[in-house]
A and B are shown apart, each in its own frame.
Chain A
Amino acid sequence: MAAIPQTSPTPPEVPEQKTTATPKSSSLWLDAFSRLIRSKTSFIGLLIILLLLVVAAMAPVVATHDPTDQQLLDRYLAPSGDHWLGTDELGRDIYSRIVYGTRISIQIGLIAVGISAVIGILLGGIAGYFGRWIDQIIMRVIDILMAFPSILLAIALVAVLGASLTNAMIAIGIVGVPQFARIVRSTVLSVKETEYIEAARAIGAKNNRILFQHVLPNCLAPIIVQATLSIGTAILDAAGLSFLGLGAQPPSPEWGAMLSDGRAALQTAPWVVAFPGLAIFLVVLGFNLFGDGLRDALDPRLKQ
């Protein structure tokens, strides 16, 4: 009878050292990041986002005028050396308003997506992990939310809450919940079947611990991708609400509100709407490019 193969009589410490001989510790995230910046489109997206962040942080330095200072004699001035992007119907400097508007847009993006993510991850995580009737109830409510066109739902929510930038952010946050909930739920469904979750149960971990320390951290990649893509959508939705007068209120230099204010002069002074529109376009494009790149970079199937 063959005994167990004794081909390697060396003591256990000696072999297997080869793989750990290099002290460099590379993490999954570092790998993903290097893949991310190697892709041209996502690198451009990243640059746009960084530019946006710098402009927002340094707004008082970057701006040339006070964004709310009205010079009624200087209404509808075309772009020039003094007013780089012209002036609007109240003689305010459009360039400075756009610069200050980045602050509002970033604020909207982060807070609205933060609201969606927190609620969505909780609901999706609980639904996916516990399953059964909890899953049924949560996902049917999510289905109902999804049945409404998002902008319509946001308008309805703002109508109930009252028109203000804060309420617009809350409304957009709630509208974004279903996407997060569904993505998190489906990821949780696959992660919870893995052996390391069974291992966690075998060492006596309670459900809370398993869900928050083992399952959800392993669902991060799709959540991050979704969050990045959602920031663009949230900014766009907020601009839409502000355009309708349901978001940022005058004289706040919000891009959507600027579009709305300038639309009367679209033919005579097109720069009043063109530049805020371009700003929205650029930011949303930046987040989308970056989000797409992130998705590719974090996709485990592409990992070698």
Chain B
Amino acid sequence: MSTLLEVNNLKKHFPIKGSSLFEKQDRAVKAVDGVSFHVNKGETLGLVGESGCGKSTTGRAILKLLEPTSGQIRFKGEDITGYHGEKLRKLRRDMQLIFQDPYASLNPRKTIEQIITEPMKIFGMPKVERRQKLDRLLEVVGLSSYHKQRYPHEFSGGQRQRVGIARSLALDPELVICDEPVSALDVSIQAQVINLMEELQEEFQLTYLFIAHDLSVVHHISDRVAVMYLGQIVEIGDVEELYANPKHPYTQALLSAIPEADPKISRERITIKGDLPSPSNPPEGCKFHTRCPYAEEICRKVNPVLKQVSPEGQQAACHFVKEVALEY
């Protein structure tokens, strides 16, 4: 398996302008603060974390919809961090995005046909080919060709998301970044869209970076999972291994919060206290120490780095990996 996407120490800080004229020091919201991971060709990497932890910002920075503050993004072995203008536009063919909100991500003034064929038009595909491709895309995402002339507001959420998926596939991308593609949908529709995405992955050999906060969905679709907390990855590894044997206290707490379908099973829930600290003023040391039940002096001073915790390659960023793992 070859590496398709490699992200090294990616940072995205949003500057906050000083509120007063004399406040010289410009602060910043550190939405993404040193994230590194790779995605292999054909696999799905799930990126999970609570709201505001920088998942979506990571996805958008990779697509260069947001300019990364620092770090490196390598796509197919090429450093694309500095790409802009025409070079960046060409890159868009290979990297696409599926949006979270199917209501907001489709232009209300365009028909389904116009929405799906626009990427092809931009990259100069002849009209006849566009028509054929449109029919094929509608078919694979499960829409009928009589939907072509309709406007987005005439569709349900699930159908709109199918349109969004068809649009993202119009250019035959290799990598699709899915930004919470099902979180705005009803649970029954979620399953359909997820299954559709899995079918499409097989058919078009797609690689997914699947951003979500729903751990069940991520478990279902991912090959590997990365857990983010406050702009950093705290644990990453193979999905089965990580779900069965989480090493980081934050991952453990997250996993224990997944609702169980059987009410008779009683389980101990790990509750984390307090709120997510502000990313404009993150805590010193380990970012999780303010809410971590195991936090010690060292956690308040030194930010732990990701280190291998299992022979299969699972990595976690915690000073007390061994002790924490035993208690789970």
Contact = CB atoms under 8 A, between A and B. Distances in A.
Interface of A: 1-8, 10-13, 15-16, 19-20, 25-28, 194-196, 198-206, 209, 214, 217-218, 220
B193 to A, nearest CB: 8
Contacts of A6: 191
A19 B162 CA distance: 15
Given A16-B158, A199-B167, A202-B63, 9 more contacts: A4-B217, A5-B216, A7-B188, A12-B142, A16-B159, A25-B150, A199-B107, A202-B65, A209-B122
Given A4-B219, A27-B151, A204 B191 contact: no
B122 A203 contact: yes
Given A25-B150, A204-B123, A199 B97 contact: yes
Interface string B156-186: 1011001010010011000000000000000
A203 B171 contact: yes
Given A2-B259, A202-B63, A7 B156 contact: no
Given A12-B142, A196-B107, A218-B107, A5 B191 contact: yes
Interface string B186-215: 011111101110000000000000000000
Contacts of A10: 192
Contact of A7 (B106, B159, B191): B191
A280 to B, nearest CB: 36
Interface in B37-55: none
Contact of B106 (A3, A26, A196): A196
A196 B119 contact: no
Nearest to B149: A25
A5 B187 CA distance: 7
B87 to A, nearest CB: 11
Contacts of B188: 5, 7-8, 15
Interface string B76-110: 00000000000001101100110101001111110
A202 B96 contact: yes
B165 to A, nearest CB: 11
A19 B156 contact: yes
A25 B101 contact: no
30 contacts: A1-B243, A2-B216, A2-B259, A2-B261, A3-B219, A3-B220, A4-B191, A4-B217, A4-B219, A4-B221, A5-B187, A5-B188, A7-B187, A12-B162, A16-B156, A16-B158, A16-B159, A19-B156, A20-B147, A194-B104, A196-B107, A198-B65, A199-B99, A201-B65, A203-B96, A203-B171, A204-B90, A209-B122, A214-B107, A217-B109
Contact of B118 (A13, A198, A205): A205
- Determine the interface band of chain B, counting residues with CB < 8 A from chain A: 35 or more
Nearest to A31: B153
Contacts of B92: 202-204
A8 B196 CA distance: 13
A111 B105 CA distance: 37
Q: Determine chain A's interface SS by DSSP, over half rule.
A: loop
Contacts, number: 124
B327 interface: no
A195 B156 contact: no
Given A19-B154, A20-B154, A198-B65, A206 B258 contact: no
Contacts of A3: 216, 219-220
A23 B170 CA distance: 27
A13 B142 contact: yes
Contacts of B294: none
Contacts of B154: 19-20, 25-26
B155 interface: yes
B26 interface: no
Contact of A5 (B63, B101, B119, B190): B190
B260 interface: yes
Contacts of B118: 200, 203, 205
Nearest to B194: A4
A192 to B, nearest CB: 12
Contacts of B105: 195-196, 198-199
A205 B93 CA distance: 11
A205 B122 contact: yes
Nearest to A220: B109
Contacts of A194: 104
B192 to A, nearest CB: 5
Nearest to B157: A16
A10 B219 CA distance: 21
Given A2-B260, A12-B195, A199-B167, A28 B190 contact: no
Question: In the complex, which of the residues B90, B106, B159 has the most CB atoms of chain A within 10 Å of its own CB atom?
Answer: B159
Contacts of A2: 216, 258-261
A98 B122 CA distance: 53
Contacts of B93: 204
Contacts of A15: 158, 188-189, 192
A4 B220 contact: yes
A265 B260 CA distance: 92
Contacts of B106: 196, 199
A249 B196 CA distance: 71
Contacts of A4: 190-191, 194, 216-217, 219-221
Nearest to B187: A5
List the 5 closest pairs (A to B, CB-CB), nearest first: A204-B92, A4-B220, A8-B188, A203-B119, A12-B142
